[in-house]
């Protein structure tokens, strides 16, 4: 997706959270704060005015020196402050493009809503933002910046409590207006539903954030970068990594109130695919590709083994295929 945007009409909401009120949720060694700082720096290098960039950080004590070196005003990454920035600062602004970058923890609720945990979250009060409602607000007439690129480096796993998944997370849900007639929105997510966003603790960065930075650098100064090219580069990078996460995206363009989706919104795909228990899944790329080709020309395909024995990997092959190609089956996967 190639958008036209003037730097002085570009805005950024950049969030990096590695320290939480619930200290058990802290990111060991850090990473999210530095990733957010690097993204804010990238915006400023492309002539986005400092006053257009709102940077919200919660850094571990050992990483506080990063904040002092950034040269930007740093704000609290609390639910109240971030929601105030969205509703009171960004909403009335007239602009071409808004970047949202978020690095930190995220969860999926029992209603399959993706939530982003804020720095003041704890087990008694899950302070969070409802990402789905935020995206709807951005595309409505209550938000004046026309186009949006959201890059979310956060988990999308299911949090388990003693009595089941949390259904009463509370948090900030945004109220929207009517869909705008001319607006584009591109959302690039580090994880599909049920997955964990991995952090490179040695280099103190999220693997996803690092891949996005590399893709931006490959754009050779083009601003804004083409997000379809960025997404393809990020996905190719993750193919080479031994990680149980696969970035995904969706893009919507509204016109006269209609929404055209060139890639199915992964939030909406029903499935009951179990999580793989394999620590490492290698050496079966040929079988995955063969299965994909068979399913292009057949309504029914059976995965079988001539020995009839259990434990040879039939179920695992089905699980791996289902997660890799879930977005090709918008009706659902069972």
Is the model more confident about 48 or about 275?
Answer: 48
Strands, E assignment, the chain:
10-17, 53-58, 74-76, 95-104, 106-108, 114-117, 128-130, 145-154, 157-158, 182-189, 199-200, 205-206, 248-255, 258-261
**Least confident residue range of 96-110, 150-164, 268-282:** 268-282
Average pLDDT over residues 81-98: 97
Average pLDDT over residues 172-185: 87
In the predicted structure, residue 35 carries a pLDDT above the cut 90: yes
The CA-based diameter of the chain, rounded to the nearest angstrom, is: 67
> Which single residue is written with the structure tokens 């080479």?
240
pLDDT digit string (tens) for 195-218? 889 999 889 999 999 999 999 999
Average pLDDT over residues 21-36: 94
The answer for residues whose C-beta is within 8 angstroms of residue 112's C-beta and 6 or more apart is 193, 267
Q: Residue 2: what pLDDT?
A: 65
Backbone phi and psi for residue 199, each to the nearest 5 degrees, phi listed first: -115, 135
Q: Residue 277: what pLDDT?
A: 66
> Which single residue is written with the structure tokens 């952090």?
199
The answer for residues whose C-beta is within 8 angstroms of residue 331's C-beta and 6 or more apart is none
Q: What is the pTM of this model?
A: 0.77
In the predicted structure, residue 106 carries a pLDDT above the cut 90: yes
pLDDT digit string (tens) for 233-289? 998 888 888 766 778 877 776 544 444 444 455 556 777 887 766 766 777 778 888
In the predicted structure, residue 143 carries a pLDDT above the cut 70: yes
**Least confident residue range of 52-66, 154-168, 308-322:** 154-168
Backbone phi and psi for residue 107, each to the nearest 5 degrees, phi listed first: -140, 165
């Amino acid at each position: 997706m190639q958008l036209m945007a003037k730097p002085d009409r570009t805005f950024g909401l950049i969030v990096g959270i590695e320290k939480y009120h619930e200290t058990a949720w802290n990111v060991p060694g850090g990473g999210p704060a530095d990733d957010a700082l690097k993204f804010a720096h990238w915006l400023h290098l492309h002539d986005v005015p400092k006053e257009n960039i709102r940077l919200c950080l919660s850094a571990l004590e050992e990483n506080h020196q990063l904040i002092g070196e950034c040269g930007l005003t740093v704000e609290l990454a609390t639910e109240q402050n971030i929601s105030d920035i969205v509703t009171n600062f960004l909403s009335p602004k007239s602009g071409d493009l808004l970047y949202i970058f978020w690095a930190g923890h995220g969860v999926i609720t029992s209603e399959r809503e993706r939530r982003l945990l804020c720095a003041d979250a704890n087990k008694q009060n899950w302070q969070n933002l409802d990402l789905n409602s935020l995206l709807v607000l951005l595309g409505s007439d209550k938000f004046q910046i026309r186009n949006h690129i959201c890059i979310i480096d956060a988990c999308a796993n299911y949090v388990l409590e003693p009595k089941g998944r949390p259904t009463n997370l509370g948090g900030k849900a945004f109220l929207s207006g009517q869909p705008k007639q001319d607006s584009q929105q591109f959302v690039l997510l580090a994880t599909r539903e049920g997955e964990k966003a991995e952090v490179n603790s040695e280099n103190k960065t999220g693997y996803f954030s690092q891949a996005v930075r590399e893709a931006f650098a490959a754009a050779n100064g083009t601003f804004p970068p083409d997000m379809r090219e960025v997404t393809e580069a990020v996905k190719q990078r993750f193919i080479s990594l031994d990680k149980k996460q696969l970035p995904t995206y969706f893009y919507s363009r509204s016109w006269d109130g209609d929404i055209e989706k060139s890639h199915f919104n992964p939030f909406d795909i029903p499935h009951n695919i179990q999580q793989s228990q394999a620590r490492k899944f290698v050496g079966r790329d040929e079988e995955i590709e063969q299965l994909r080709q068979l399913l292009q020309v057949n309504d029914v395909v059976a995965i079988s083994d001539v020995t009839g024995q259990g434990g040879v990997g039939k179920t695992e092959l089905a699980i791996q295929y289902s997660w890799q190609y879930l977005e090709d089956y918008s009706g659902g996967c069972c």
